[in-house]
Structure 1
Amino acid sequence: MAARTPEPDFRARTVRALLLSRELDHNRRRVGLSTRQAASGMDMSPAMLNRVMTGRRLPTALEVGGLCALFDVPAERRPVLYALAREGDRTQWLTHHDPGDPDRFAVLRELHAVAESITGYDTATLPLALRTADYHRAVLAATGAAPTARGPDRVEAYTAHYVHAHALRAPWVDPAVMTAQLARLRDDRRLRVLPDRTPPPAAHPFQVITTRHFPPVVFFDLGAATLLLELDAAAPHLAALRAVERGALSVGETRAFLDDLLFSR
């Protein structure tokens, strides 16, 4: 059997360029056009269109309009694509939201859709992907957050969740609810506990998201805002995550820690 030819590692220039190219290419395939056919329809060379479709070249506003028409992009999505192209060279997203805004995690949802791995760090509470329904309701009640604040977690894409030990004690959660939550966590090998002596690497929960065609990005949930960092701005937080990995309990030690908590309840 012949060896498979490796897929070219085309790197999008920014996260905005990645998301723009992904949505355009999705719509191209939806209407059944090849790249060559689309290039012909746009009076562009296939090579130039390929650079747009891989995020290596940002299209002009005129080209975005032409591609939206050619690919029959839904009208409500077109302003989003224009904005991605217009701001395509920006490398940080700080977006202020109402805590109950259903679009609060829109960018995160799109990144999760293309993620190859997601590593999460949480400070005072458990990550959304690991919560039982009762524990999640307890968090909402304690924090006053709106139910729509629940994030778009792709559970299967997570490779590790790092959680501080004090988040697993949570005296403000009903004991029966917390016991059921701990029992559920016991068999999840992605959970890694940071001992109490470990200094927190950040004041807010964050995720490191890796995709095939872009360096890892860091997403912070700041409560009233969300922050996405990429390229050089992400580097200090990637280093902090490596320190967390070194300081965390092993999978076996984490399970023993959970057993001790359950036994002591």
Structure 2
Amino acid sequence: MKTPIAFLLLLLRLVLPAPVKIAEDSLLYPYGPAQGDQQNPKADDGASPEIPISMTFIFYGKEHRSLYVNNNGVVSFGVSVSQYTPDPFPLADGRPFVAPYWGDVNNVLGGDVYYRETRDPELLRRLTRDINQYFPEIPFTATWAFVATWDRVAYYGSTSQKGNTFQAVLANDGKVTFIMLNYGTIQWTTGTASRGDANTGLGGTPAQAGFNSGDDKNFYNIPGSRTDAILHIGQTSNVGVQGRWVFQVNDFKVTGVPTESNDCWL
């Protein structure tokens, strides 16, 4: 439970200087106001409104026509997610969602959460090229994408200047769907309401990364999830590119996932 003490820390943090903005590398797809992105409210455990999407997203046999972008590092289908301490997948309640970095984000204390649906030809060409490189045996030409980005977001109860940047990209060609998770700077794993340290953002129950389809059979926990090792997710991959994880999710399989966790630590 988030305590009054944590709330006082939140108020204290409001008067501290804003985080210094650091340029992220080009691994992340373009985002922000210049790209026409929408922006989530500044709210602890907040979320976007329900977002209708113009192309059905098939997630392990289930069709979704809307989604939520949740401040706590989750893109969800059917229901918003305010839960701040992550659970391992599969989830008992069957919530389907994509979790680039499920942890206790508080963008009131720093950072922004952006999202947009796009058919921008340049972005779709780049997305197609990347996915074809990683999955040459699967015919795919992206015709639609949804990009959600957490830009230098702070953690709940923070008394530091630490911020995390990460991104989820959903891609579709009308039949085949992919999820791409991209990681920039990752500096914290845990908020104070999850028993983390206010100054370091470490300890307690660290963030969870991967996805949960909602059927108890098709899910993936990126190695290191809910352990201290998740701090180094930007040095891991299942496609040979540090800081990037990609999954085909329209069919009942997970393509490209290492058979041993050691394979993903580059």
TM-score range, shorter chain: under 0.3
**Higher helix proportion (structure 1 or 2):** 1
**Higher strand proportion (structure 1 or 2):** 2
Greater C-alpha Rg: 1
Q: TM-score, normalised by structure 2?
A: 0.24
